[in-house]
Amino acid sequence: SPVPDYLQEVLDGLVDDRSGAVADYIPDLANANPDVFGVAVTTVDGRTHSAGDDEVEFSIQSISKPFAYAAALTDRGFDAVLGTVGVEPSGEAFNELSLEGDSRRPKNPMINAGAIATHYLLSRSGASVTERVDRALEFFSELADRTLSIDESVCRSELETADRNLSIAHMLRNYGVIDSPAHDVVEGYTRQCSIKVTVRDLAVMGATLANAGVHPVTGRRVVATEVARQTLAVMTGCGMYDAAGHWLTTVGIPAKSGVAGGLLGSLPGQLGIGVVSPRLDVHGNSVRGVRMFQRMSADMGMHLMDAE
Ligand code: GLN
């Protein structure tokens, strides 16, 4: 069929590109096979096509952030979430220790400061670490339409070297953004980031956001229309960190990257895309993943700003 052939052709065109480097600030990620390369596309009518390493599991990492944001909006409502985390692109690196000047809120939920605060909001006020992590696991599993699990080795490895995220959490606690011990919130956030997915999972998860919150395969409404829209809007402005502007001009698809090499795209009304290739550029985005999206966006006319 033409779609898998096309996807394979795009992979073949980029397979010789070995530029970039796997993340090593999380020691266990440095052990990942750098040559893993896969892609999947799910349309809003529920068909998935894939090529390459489409069954290989990797940790979701920062691609968990938009989904945790959607869960927090669902659990706590817009007022509570927007009062805690802003929606402004930061133009900063993902792990910047920064807050908005006046409000002392993290600038957006896609950088670590905002994502740690968003994780804290999961489930209910006063939730335990287990309740928050279970909420993320249950929600991501519903989106993926299978039972997901945590990569304990990646999680342990990240927690052993989590000083940066612990500093962020202490800063959040100092300003009253979170009200649980910093270590507990970072542990829960790190477990959320260690949930294992495949590119096929990412594609169907992204297709649910693209389909206004209705799961394209199960037909269930997973999130409200306004939650799907809010999540896609924040991904558009902030999903690619300090490369968000370059991404928006050259690709034009709401997206989120993760340091394990995953990349999620979600084109409203059309489809979800998942890509994995672990070598990263200086922004922490997958090198081949970014190039794949540039090529697919051009070939299929997927840029959001194209009038036709
Ligand atoms: N768990 C990673 C961290 O908090 C996620 C970062 C990422 O994927 N960009 O550092």
Task: Look up the ipTM and state it.
Answer: 0.96
Least confident of 35-39, 142-146, 234-238, 242-246: 242-246
How far apart are the C-alpha atoms of 291 and 224, rounded to whole Å? 32
> What is the structure's pLDDT at 94?
87
Looking at residues 214-235, what average pLDDT do you find? 98
> What is the structure's pLDDT at 6?
97
> What is the structure's pLDDT at 36?
98
How far apart are the C-alpha atoms of 209 and 270, rounded to whole Å? 10
pLDDT band at 91 (very low <50, low <70, confident <90, very high): confident
Q: Where are the domains of the chain?
A: 2-59+196-300, 62-193
Looking at residues 212-227, what average pLDDT do you find? 98
> What is the structure's pLDDT at 210?
98
> What is the structure's pLDDT at 18?
97
Superfamily of domain 62-193: DD-peptidase/beta-lactamase superfamily (3.40.710.10)
Which is catalytic among the residues 64, 154, 185, 189? 189
pLDDT band at 103 (very low <50, low <70, confident <90, very high): confident
State which of 95, 161, 189, 196 you would mutate to test the pocket of ligand 1, scoring each by most atoms of that ligand within 8 A of its C-beta.
95
Beta-strand pair 38-43/271-276: antiparallel
**Residue 39 burial class via C-beta count within 10 angstroms: exposed 0-12, middle 13-18, buried 19 and up:** buried
Is residue 270 over pLDDT 90?
A: yes
> What is the structure's pLDDT at 242?
84
Percent of the chain's residues with pLDDT above 70:
100
Q: Which residue has the tokens 């999972």?
A: 201
How far apart are the C-alpha atoms of 40 and 198, rounded to whole Å? 9
Which is catalytic among the residues 50, 59, 62, 277? 62
pLDDT band at 1 (very low <50, low <70, confident <90, very high): confident
Give the pLDDT confidence of 145-190 residue by residue, as tens digits: 999 999 999 999 999 999 999 999 999 999 999 999 999 999 999 9
pLDDT band at 59 (very low <50, low <70, confident <90, very high): very high
Beta bridge partners of 66: none
Identical fold at 2-59+196-300 and 62-193? yes
Q: Does domain 2-59+196-300 fall into CATH 3.40.710.10? A: yes
Atom of ligand 1 nearest to the CA of 95: 10
State which of 158, 185, 189 you would mutate to test the pocket of ligand 1, scoring each by most atoms of that ligand within 8 A of its C-beta.
158
Is residue 201 over pLDDT 80?
A: yes
How far apart are the C-alpha atoms of 122 and 135, rounded to whole Å? 7
128 catalytic, yes or no?
no
Q: Side chain identity at 225, as an amino acid letter?
A: T
Task: For residue 296, give every residue at least 6 positions away whose Cβ sits within 8 Å of its Cβ, in sequence order, or none.
Answer: 10, 273, 302
Q: What is the mean pLDDT of the chain?
A: 96
125 catalytic, yes or no?
no
Neighbours of 100 (CB within 10 A): 15
Which is catalytic among the residues 65, 194, 223, 297? 65
> What is the structure's pLDDT at 101?
84
> What is the structure's pLDDT at 77?
98
Q: How far is CA 92 from the centre of its chain?
A: 17
